Structure 1
Amino acid sequence: MITGDPLVTVNAPRIGLSGEPFVATASPKLSWTTVSRTGGWLQAGAEIEVSRGGSRTTATIEGDASVFVAWPFIPLRPRETASVRVRVRGADGSASPWSEATEVTAGFLGASEWRARFVGSGSDEPHLLRTTFEVRGAVRRAFLYSTAFGAYDARLNGAAVDDAVLKPGWTSYQWRLHYDVTDVTEHLRQGANTLGIELAGGWYTEEFGFRDRARRFYDGHPAAAAQLVIEYADGTTARVVTDERWRWSSGPVVAASIYQGETHDARLHDPKWTDPGIAGDNWSPVVPVDVPDVRPEPRTSQPVRVVQRREVVKVITTPAGRTVLDFGQNLVGWVRLTVTGPRGHTITLRHAEVLEHGELGTRPLRNAAATDHYTLRGDGEETWEPRWTFHGFRYVEIQNWPGAFSPSAVTAAVVHTDLSRTGGFSTSHPLVERFHENVVWGMRGNFLSIPTDCPQRDERLGWTGDIQVFAPTAAFLYDCDAFLRSWLEDVFLEQKAANGVVPMVVPAVIPQVPGQLEPVAAWGDAITVVPTVLNERFGDRDALAVAYEAMKAWVDTVTVRTGGSPLWESGVQFGDWLDPDAPPDQPGRAKTDPGLVATAYYYRSADLTAKAAAALGRDDEARHYGDLAAGIGEAFRSTYVTATGRMMSDAPTAYALAIVFGLADGESKSAMGERLRHLVRSFGYHIATGFVGTPIICDALTSTGHADAAARLLAQTECPSWLYPVTMGATTIWERWDSMLEDGSINPGQMTSFNHYALGAVADWLHRIVAGLAPGEAGYRRLRIAPTVIDVLDDASAWHETPYGRASSGWRREGGVVRFDVEVPANTRALVRLPSGAEHEVGSGTHTWTERHPRPRRTRSELGLDSDLATIVDDPEAYQAVLAAISGIDPERAVAFRRATRWTPGRSLRDPLSHTPLDVVDAIEKALAALPAGELP
């Protein structure tokens, strides 16, 4: 028996993917993390004990497996509750005590148990459903299974059954629908009981599409289904199901729409509508509703919840005299009001992400009204918040508030799928720190039931390209394995319906948009990239196994569409979408050839499919797709790359794709890196990449020895750059580099969002390369730690809750010495490579090293109009002196000069100033002459 303070302990095991109290499968996978106070601890074996039905069973496993361990017991039966605990043995002879137990209940129904009918009012209007039933005898347990084609909530005897919202979430309703399961034992009472359901249209009745092309996609009216299973103490079971005996009534929700908002009339609210004593004589019989022929299945991901409340930070009176509340953070959700006023008085709430010229900036919302209305019942203090819509906003305009307004009367609800935070990054550089926080908030706002592109305008769709580039960042920041696995199920179904094509959005609800069901590179490739990321970051090999046929189907489909050519240069392509040089109304006009982008992704998906086949033991298919990738790579190089490593499409994204995807090797990779560094400098260290180039540009630079250029890109604050929005007050990642112009006006394009996470995907580079924390094997079973010291930062660190426990890596300057701190979780090992090239193989525990890395000594020769343009831009003080001199005389000319000049070697500063007024030229010359020469501090 182990007593005292053990050296080795095990945390309570995780059962299944989501960590929720109900599991969706009979044999859920098990995972656990070990904490050891001795370094280098490795597991030699483990005992797993399950308690169920009053008996205990123990299984013993040998070896180091502790992540996604197969269920070693008899499968769970529907509604069976099991309690699991673990203890481990170390290779060093150590042993842990038993962990705390984790209890779960089988949340699935038996094969023939679903008996509920889908019922409703037969209209699209929000309404209430209810039934009354008797409880006769002592209840041992009771479970409610409920769902809807639409959005619903359930109440039992006046009490909400859970804290989830917008249930059951959005899936491809024509093929797949989730049900929720809740233990409602505590809500039942002897005698009469009432079960009620509030029902709204949600995504099911929404109109999808852009501007005048928006249409209903799903046919039919909203409908709900519920099944209450009551297990009595005497061993008998009773069921209450939705059927023709239920009744319906209109309620206080007059109108509800995801995009338009919610209208609530509290005069129509009956707080006792689910009390058993209500007769319900004015309620009408429900009608069976025709819905898709889908058997509901248990939800496998975490639900959507209100996860935070935020207070008003500022009350603004706009130039037009309107009252606007600033919550200090662009967020997703709604606001809650506490108000007193006369009966029939209506308050209106309008939402927006930004202010433009001091007023609410609603133009980017397009057709989304994002407006809520609340009509008071007038009987004292009232508290209300919408529940059938959501908004993306920082600012809320309040119209018609009764009496004096107090900011304490309003709070903002932050709403998203309730994922656990698993990673972070920190630095003392305030702008970079805020940028990373913006990435986090962007993910929070767009992980609401499905991974969306934006949360505020008339879109909010599951664009596959966005999550394709952002998946690695997402997997570091939050426990999103179950979330993305669930969404991928819809991707598979939509792909099958589209004959192998992965739609641009999933669920695929905009077929009227040209090209929606055509294969599009970088968007459709989500089918190969996302499962690969889930295996790499979570150790979820099943994600690959489940997705493998879909991965093959995508690559095979592209092969057919190219006519067997290894080049993909046909069809609808977005290319390097949102290149900063593209006109506002033509976001696809990028510098990089779209055929090059498509062919690079064709190669990548073939390569990832080959690797998945190898991991799954499908050797013949691994060879087939490996050979296909090799052929694509050879054609890519012969078509797009010259003998000297110059890309035919001479743009940063082209080089980044070739370098990061493995399409360049040996001397060509080095030459490409040099050319990429040249181009980055020529653009003045401003972003010159779009949707597919931006996430990987810094990876491409650092992997070819140009971390200095990546650092300058990171630290740039002029537009376009990652930090420009931060300097403009952004608290999320923008869709466009210039979603807001420098004069405070909103980009004139028709497609502008202030909460789009895609361009924040570079955060993965901050985690893996700058802080240096990366998986060396699937699921971080082995870590690869290789921090990169960059001159624009004094420190950088990252932490991540790996499937094996917490890992961290960071560095901090202490004069000319840099200290490196690493934390490795138990049952793993890490290969640490320091900037000097020194390598260390280490086990679990904390480790510290120091190396001398003084900042490079800087010298400056005398500068003037004949100085090389590259010399000027590589000297931040000289560059700023030139722009300040121009701006001091003509600010607009300074902006134009900054945007138009290509800072290439071999040209003098005098060249781009040839048509500049002499007073401006003289000012520049004087500004440069005033800079000190020689060795700089």
Structure 2
Amino acid sequence: MIVTPVRFEHGEPVLGIGVARPRLSWQVTEAEPGWAQSGYELEYGDTRVRVDSAEQILVDWPFAPLDSRERATIRVRLTDGKSWSGWSEPSTVEAGLLSPRDWRARLISPRTLGGIGDRAPILHASFPARERPVSARLYVTAHGCYTAWLSGERVGDAVLAPGWTSYPNRLRYQTYEVTELIRPGENRIEVLLGNGWYRGRLGWSNAYYGDRLALLAQLELRYPDGSLEVFGTDTHWSARESTVLADDLYDGQTTDLRAVPSTSDGVEQLDFAPERLTAPQGPPVRVTETLATREVLRSPSGRPIYDFGQNLVGWVRIRLRGTRSGQRVTVRHAEVLENGELGVRPLRSARATDTYLLDEAAEVLLEPSLTFHGFRYAEIDGATPERADVEAVVVGTDLRRTGWFHSSDAELDRFHENVVWGMRGNFLDVPTDCPQRDERLGWTGDIQAFAPAACFLYDTAGFLASWLADLAAEQHPDGSVPYVIPDVLGDAHPSAAAWGDAATVVPWVLYRRYGDTGILERQLDSMRAWVDRIASLTTEGIWAGGFQFGDWLDPDAPPHDPFAAKVDADVVATAYLARSAELLAAAHEVLGRDGAPYARLAARTRAAFAEHFLDTDARVHSDAPTGYALALEWDLLPSAELRARAVQRLVDLVCANGFRISTGFVGTPLIADALAANDHPDIAYRLLFERSCPSWLYPVTMGATTVWERWDSLLPDGSINPGEMTSFNHYALGAIADWMHRTVAGLAPAEPGYRRILVRPVPCARLTEAAARHETPYGTAAVSWRRDAGRFELEVRVPVGATANVHPPGGEPAEVGHGTHHWSVPDPCP
């Protein structure tokens, strides 16, 4: 038997963790058939604690709480009641600064430099180290984003740190191991500050959070004798101008590499409440990949355009040789081409341009660090570097990949890859709607729809838990949930169905996918406040009137009016009230609390839905596919007979529309399930494989490498949709990937955290094979099937600690434990 090292909370960070009692998890990668854990023993130093339990995911910390800076090395061993395993390899966690009292540093800002429109400032100081320390830690955050150097060496590999949180409520700080960067004697620390999300253009406002960039940094040196020396930001620091003339997330960065004078300045202390400092709950934004130029094109205007073959998020890195003083190089970005030129209209007012003023040099490497762009194409003016000297740098939150899908259809696989790339680009510190135009906001409706797919593809537990903490912090006293988190729109009473319901849906998805009851505990007040708020807006049990997004971007809505969906917004709103009330009741039950009032609210709302929105023939008001999908998936139909009629009507609508998609943000995540779960998987597959516009595969036929905001962001004639909102990198409509994982391949969670797995593939004649693999909290689960020579061959892999309920098509269901299992049954799709 092999036991993996212990994981703390959800895995990152291990250095600078923000809780005194981190929960513990482990996996068993190999075990004899039939083996099952009945107890475990944890070791920390000289202390061992035995617990009789089969639990292995997010178990309680059994030792004394960690103090700030305390470092703990843990091992675990397991028993099945008969014998013990060997000890796992040791795993170490270190607490961050857990109390505001631990911070001796002060928040500082340049006195006169670094104002809006000025050069980006560098704050710097020197400090002595009396000898080489045994350990050194740098704790740092900023108003703005920062890059730090110690003794000329870059600190860490995070970019755009500390990221974007609800700054008035939560400011994230990072912890860095810098022991090897400290030299005995004089050392120097320098920190570049950029505007980031704190200041400048954000949404549709300027200088949103504040007008002064600022730094908070605390360096701690631990010497061999055990003494601790602390150097923190204070008024003894200095400031100077950097080579960055301008930086903005939307407009780009301008850098002057010439030897020009730099003005120096003093700093002053700003008022600051350390109580709002919080440690990260997930990984930082990093460079995750680089892509070579696929092709160099020449635009009609004569400029070179570098095509990277993939719509991505990050920036362009250029190597130039033999530059001259005063040479200006400009890099413009776009997701698509139109008439051979960059298609920049979808960027709206975002300039997405990086500019470099060069000095004479034999060789220079050009790339920004205080901005990012969404692009596939880059136009370079002022130089014509060789193809090999231009590459795209991909950045995003460095999430651990956990899910994969494969099928025998190349276009379906390309679509799935588009979903992955769309998530990579938009999971950049917060789950944004798009990464390229003058928006890039954490729209609640988008992640509400996409959360199940996201949790399969990547480990988003800490990432989304942090975002939910911001949601709770910015929720209004009356329970209203802002349309975007962090909230930069500032609407007075933002209560919109599907968008605000992120408050209930996303915590529930995290609980189901990761087995994390803690997220329900932390978010329960927020969940309750939202449901209470929308319940207060009802009349005769239905939520009617008021502002709603509805089934946003219904494909039949005209380009200038994305609200104009076929389904009535009141139908959507009331359905979501029933759904959120039901989830809230279930969350109470999981936590051992009384959820009966919310179960009754859900029942009353279902009854009101049927009374107001159903006619005697089971026609849902508006007679639109989204209405039927909501009613079927969320049990809003009061009888089996009405359900059967609604199913048939949905099938009729889908067929009558030529199997082209006819749902927007709300209906799209549900439509395939509504069909397949009601004995019409053939119709769901016809939808999935349709290639005419609008459909999931239409963008693939048009060369898409990410999921689009609109079904027809690019029109069949190759022109860009005339609508003001036309993004070529949105993930919301990629929510169908979750159905592909669960139904096409057949891999789904039956219990929280995949402790019990449901394997129920629904094959179709169009596919000869499909497979999905997921790194569950217990280990690797995988399903693959193949149709060959009249047989359906099914292989299932179950991790140790989990079981699976397997339903081979047409075969007998079976419950199996860990290991790899095979079935061969007659092909159900001859």
Q: TM-score, normalised by structure 2?
A: 0.97
Query: How far apart, CA to CA, are the structure 2 residues paired with 1:88 and 1:670?
Result: 50
Are 2:800 and 1:826 equivalent residues in the alignment? yes
Please name the residue that 1:361 is paired with. Answer: 343
Q: CA deviation at 1:429?
A: 0.2
Q: Which residue number corresponds to residue 604 of structure 1?
A: 579
The alpha carbon displacement at 1:810 in A equals 2.0
Aligned equivalent of 1:342: 324
| DSSP 3-state at the match of 2:276 | coil
Select 1:430's aligned residue among 410, 415, 429.
Answer: 410
SS at match of 1:520: coil
**For 1:200, which of 194, 199, 216 is the aligned residue?**
194
Equivalent residue runs for 1:839-850 within 5 Å? 839-850=813-824
> Which secondary structure does the structure 1 equivalent of 2:346 belong to?
helix
Q: Which residue of the partner structure matches residue 9 of structure 1? A: 2
Q: Quick check: 1:96 aligned with 2:94?
A: no
Spell out, residue by residue over 1:824-851, the C-alpha distance to the aligned partner (whole angstroms, 9 max, x if none): 1111111111221621011111111112
**For the Cα contact (< 8 Å) 1:142–1:228, is it kept in 2?**
yes
Secondary structure, counterpart of 1:720 in structure 2: coil
Query: 2:654 pairs with 670, 680, 684, which one?
Result: 680
2:362 to 357, 376, 380: 380
2:469 corresponds, among 466, 483, 489, to: 489
Provide the residue aligned with 2:524 in structure 1. Answer: 548
Q: Is the 8 A contact 1:159 1:187 kept in 2?
A: yes
**Equivalents in 1 of 2:371, 2:125: separation in Å?**
26
Aligned residue-pair number: 822
**CA–CA distance in 2 between the matches of 1:34 and 1:854?**
36
Query: C-alpha displacement at 1:109, in angstroms?
Result: 4.0
Q: For 1:735-794, what per-residue CA distance to the aligned partner results, in whole angstroms no more than 9, with x for missing partners?
A: 000000011100000000000000000000001111111111110111111111122211
Cα shift at 1:292: 7.2
Equivalent residue, structure 1, for 2:48: 58
Distance 1:138 1:315 in 2: 51
Aligned to 2:611: 638
1:615-626 mapped onto 2 (5 Å cutoff): 615-619=590-594, 622-626=595-599
- SS for the counterpart of 1:85 is strand
Residues 252 and 268 in structure 1, CA contact (< 8 A), matched pair in contact too? no
- Tell me which of 242, 247, 251 is aligned to 1:256: 247
| Equivalent residue number for residue 391 of structure 2 | 411
Q: Secondary structure at the match of 1:677?
A: helix
- Residues 175 and 292 in structure 1, CA contact (< 8 A), matched pair in contact too: no
Tell me the distance in 2 between the aligned counterparts of 1:484 and 1:111: 25
CA displacement 1:707-741 (0-9 Å, x = unmatched): 00000001001000000000000000000000000
Q: 1:572 matched to which residue of 2?
A: 547
How far 1:268 sits from its partner (Å)?
4.6
Secondary structure of the 2:761 match is coil
**Which amino acid is the alignment partner of residue 6 of structure 2?**
P
Q: Match for residue 520 of structure 1? A: 496
Q: What's the CA shift for 1:561?
A: 2.2
Q: Verify the 8 A CA contact 2:571 2:621 in the aligned structure 1.
A: no
CA drift at 1:50: 2.0
Which residue identity does 1:574 align to in structure 2?
F
Equivalent residue number for residue 183 of structure 1: 177
Counterpart CA distance in 2 for 1:249 and 1:209 is 30
2:810, 2:828 within 8 Å by CA — same for their partners in 1?
Answer: no
Q: Which residue of 1 aligns with 2:27?
A: 33
Specify the alignment match of 1:883 in structure 2. Answer: none
Can you give the 5+ residue segments of structure 1 that lack an aligned partner in the other structure? 1-7, 271-279, 857-937
Q: Distance in 2 between matches of 1:409 and 1:431?
A: 31
Residue in 1 that maps onto 2:621:
648
- Counterparts of 1:268 and 1:791, CA distance in 2: 67
The one-letter amino acid of 2:520's match is L
- Where structure 2 has 5 or more consecutive residues not aligned to the other structure, the ranges are none
Cα offsets for 1:456-502 (capped at 9, x unmatched): 0000000000000000000000000000000001000110x453101
The answer on 1:474 being equivalent to 2:454 is: yes
* Letter aligned with residue 504 of structure 2: T
Q: Where do 4+ consecutive residues of structure 1 move more than 4 Å?
A: 290-294
8 Å CA contact retained: 2:12, 2:281: no
Correspondent of 1:235 among 226, 232, 237: 226
Alignment partners' CA distance in 2, 1:30 and 1:292: 31
In 1: Cα distance, 2:526 partner to 2:259 partner: 50
- Corresponding residue for residue 333 of structure 2: 351
Report the equivalent of 2:382: 400
- Quick one: which amino acid aligns to residue 294 of structure 2? V
Query: What is the aligned partner in structure 2 of residue 116 from structure 1?
Result: 105
**Residues 11-51 of structure 1 deviation map (CA, whole Å, 9 limit, x = unaligned):** 11211223333221111010011022433432111122223
Partner of 1:708: 682
- Deviation readout 1:342-361 (Å, 9 max, x if unpaired): 12211100001111121111
Question: What's the offset of the Cα at 1:546?
Answer: 0.6
- Aligned-pair CA distance for 1:223: 0.6
Aligned to 1:311: 292
1:673-752 → structure 2 map (5 Å cutoff): 673-752=647-726
In structure 1, what is the equivalent of residue 635 of structure 2? Answer: 662
Relative to 1, partners in 2 of residues 1:236 and 1:37: Cα closer, same or farther, differing over 3 Å?
A: closer
Which residue of 2 is the match for residue 148 of structure 1? 142
Deviates more, 1:470-479 or 1:826-835: 826-835
Aligned partner of 2:623: which letter? D
Q: Percent identity?
A: 49
User: For the residues of structure 2 that align with 1:589 and 1:824, how far apart are their CA atoms?
Assistant: 46
Displacement after TM superposition at 1:560 (Å): 1.6
Checking the alignment, whether the CA contact within 8 Å between 2:578 and 2:602 is kept in structure 1 is yes
Tell me which amino acid in the other structure corresponds to 2:219. L
Question: Are the aligned partners of 1:644 and 1:668 in contact in 2 as well (CA < 8 Å)?
Answer: yes
Shift of 1:138: 4.0
Is residue 518–residue 571 contact of structure 1 (8 Å, CA) maintained in 2?
no
> The residue matched to 1:199 in structure 2 has which SS?
strand
Note if contact 1:450-1:487 (Cα within 8 Å) is conserved in structure 2.
yes
Q: 2:264 aligns with which of 283, 297, 301?
A: 283
Q: Could you tell me which amino acid in structure 1 is paired with residue 552 of structure 2?
A: W
Alignment partner of 1:79 is 2:60: no
Per-residue deviation at 1:666? 2.0
Residues 174 and 292 of structure 1 are in contact (CA less than 8 Å); yes or no, is this contact kept in structure 2?
A: no
Tell me: CA distance 1:447–1:516, structure 2 relative to 1, closer, same or farther (3 Å).
Answer: farther
Output the CA distance in 1 between the equivalents of 2:382 and 2:624.
Answer: 53
For 1:634, give the aligned amino acid.
Answer: A
CA distance in 2, matches of 1:360, 1:627: 55
User: What RMSD, in angstroms, separates the aligned Cα atoms of the two structures?
Assistant: 1.6
Partner AA of 2:585 in structure 1? A
2:537 aligned with 1:558, yes or no?
Answer: no
When residues 773 and 840 of structure 1 are mapped into structure 2, their CA distance, relative to the original with a 3 A threshold, is: same
Cα displacement string for residues 268-311 of structure 1 (whole angstroms, at most 9, x for unaligned residues): 589xxxxxxxxx9x632112345677532222221100011111
Q: Residues of 1 paired with 2:309 and 2:138: CA distance?
A: 39
Which residue does 1:421 correspond to in 2?
Answer: 401
Give, in angstroms, the shift of residue 445 of structure 1.
0.3
Partners of 1:202 and 1:292 in 2: CA distance: 21
Does the CA-based 8 Å contact 2:100-2:274 persist in structure 1? Answer: no
Q: 1:58 to 1:292 in 2, by over 3 A?
A: closer
Aligned residue for 1:491, secondary structure, equals: helix
Residue pair 2:619, 2:649 contacting (<8 A) in 1 also: yes
Q: Does 1:591 align with 2:562?
A: no
| Counterpart position of 1:793 | 767
| Matched position secondary structure for 2:425 | helix
- Contact 1:580 1:737 survives alignment (8 Å): yes
Q: 1:70 aligns with which of 60, 66, 75?
A: 60
Larger CA deviation: 17-26 vs 772-781:
17-26
